[in-house]
Structure 1
Amino acid sequence: MAEDEFRVDESAPVFFLSYARTRNQVAAPSRDTNKNVRQLFIDLSDHVVELLGLGPGRTAGFVDELLDGGQLWTDDLAFASGHAQVFIPLISPQYLRSEWCAREWDVFTRRRVLTRPGVDSSAGETPVIPVNWSVVERREVPDVVSRRQMFSPTRLPSDIAPQYHDEGIYGLLSLGKNGKDAYDAVVWRLAQRIARAYRTHWVEPWVPTDMRQLRDTFEEGPHDVD
């Protein structure tokens, strides 16, 4: 495939942030608990714009804030999942139980991935970058997820990576001042990883014709969707 065939729709986001939407059912009325996701999305978007030098009209990322537990597959969501070049699933116990998150994972991981000509890509690097959002027991992680290389920040002070692995990004944000420096450093490294994936790989656009047939669990097997 010639380089000019590795085209990216300039109206498409660079990355797709996939997360499990949660509400505090104990509070009355129920309280939206996704503000930390929004904070991560804003910070990542700012960094990616800077790292890639995105011009006016280019979108750094997409995060769906309209769905309440997965009620409607909007045109914007379908376009973003079928055209974004990097997929960032925020792994948590809720994420792995979410039928909607499984569908988002399924759409992106079915798309064909190619390494761009003339670039070096480290072994294991892919445009799917699972992130430790909140701690999950290893035995609870499905095989299809565990086979993907979890994001692990490098070239940081020795205490930061262990904090991220022990607490997750949600935990770092919840620690206030005690977690702020670690959070900032981890998110910067994640943005660099997104920018590198964008430069080294190309993910073929693909939007399925029938979203209802997407897998709603994290598993592998024959595909039936056109």
Structure 2
Amino acid sequence: MARVYEYDVFISYQREGATVPAWVRTHFYPRLAELLDDNVDHQVKIFFDDGIPGGTNWPLAVRTALLRTRILLPVCSPKYFLNEWCLAEWHSMARREKLVGLASLERPQGLIYPVIFCDSENFPKYAKDRRMQNLKPWNLPYPQFQDTVEYLGFHREVERIAIELADLIGRAPEWRPDWPVDTPDPDPPRTPTLPRF
């Protein structure tokens, strides 16, 4: 097992549905990757589960990536806070913050850097307590969005986010092999259906 961080940022998002995954894949992830890479002195590495090869044990890959990531970047929507994987990712990083005394009265900056995809009125209090970056004005998942004037505003906002993330990455605590990583309980095995005679 690696004894250092492997990823700078872990993008946590609601994987069900069409809008959020399409937006992350088409617009947010590619812009963030290139703009963050421009603002750090090493080759930036972002974990985005769309790149997990077929046949991989997905829960194990996600768990391992989270263990080896410096900063969690949740893409928040109301359904994000109902998804057991999203909650496990958020709470794993919150437990890490607690272990090292971050997101506390003495050191309010943490390791969770949330962005708002939509809504935000229905987020839980622990999420609302965090300063979130509002990307609602640019949450269009369509590829044609890149050809609009509004996309320049999106680019500038992601550039600002990349600069803040670069600072957080530089201040992340030293990697520890005992970082807590929560994962949802596996689904119970299905009862086989036997034909009735």
TM-score in terms of structure 1 length: 0.63
Greater RCO (CA < 8 Å, at least 6 residues apart): 2
Q: State the Cα distance separating 1:72 from its structure 2 match.
A: 4.4
Report matched runs for 1:89-100 at 5 Å: 89-100=74-85
Which residue of the partner structure matches residue 34 of structure 1? Answer: 21
Alignment-mate amino acid for residue 211 of structure 1: T
Which of 81, 88, 94 is the aligned partner of 1:103?
Answer: 88
1:20 aligns with 2:8: no
**1:132 aligns with one of 113, 116, 120:** 116
Residues of 2 paired with 1:210 and 1:200: CA distance?
23
**1:186 aligned onto 2:168:** no
Offset at 1:169?
4.0
SS of structure 2 residue aligned to 1:145: helix
Unaligned runs of 5+ in 1: 1-7, 25-31, 116-122, 153-163, 215-226
CA contact (8 A) 1:15 1:62 kept: yes
C-alpha distance in 2 between matches for 1:179 and 1:62:
27
- Residues of 1 paired with 2:31 and 2:100: CA distance? 26
Match of 2:190 in 1: none
The separation in 2 between residues aligned to 1:109 and 1:204, in whole angstroms, is 15
Name the residue aligned to 1:221: none
Q: Which consecutive aligned stretches of 4+ in structure 1 deviate over 6 angstroms post-superposition?
A: 172-175
Alignment map for 1:116-155 (pairs within 5 Å): 124-136=108-120, 138=121, 140-151=122-133
Q: Is the 8 A contact 1:134 1:171 kept in 2?
A: no
Amino acid at match of 2:75: L
Alpha carbons 2:138, 2:154 under 8 Å: kept: yes
Q: Tell me how far apart the structure 1 counterparts of residues 152 and 115 of structure 2 sit (CA, whole Å).
A: 18
Report the Cα offset of residue 73 of structure 1: 0.9
What is the distance in 1 between the residues matched to 2:159 and 2:165? 10
From 168, 172, 182, the counterpart of 1:201: 172
Contact 1:113 1:203 in 2 (8 A): no
Q: CA deviation at 1:207?
A: 4.9
Identity %: 19
Structure 2: state its 5+ residue gaps: 187-197
- Normalising by structure 2, we get a TM-score of 0.72
Residue 172 and residue 193 in structure 1: after superposition, are their counterparts in 2 closer, same or farther (change >3 A)? farther
Q: Offset of 1:33 from its aligned partner?
A: 6.3
Residue type at the aligned position of 2:8: V
Residue 91 of structure 1: CA displacement?
A: 0.6
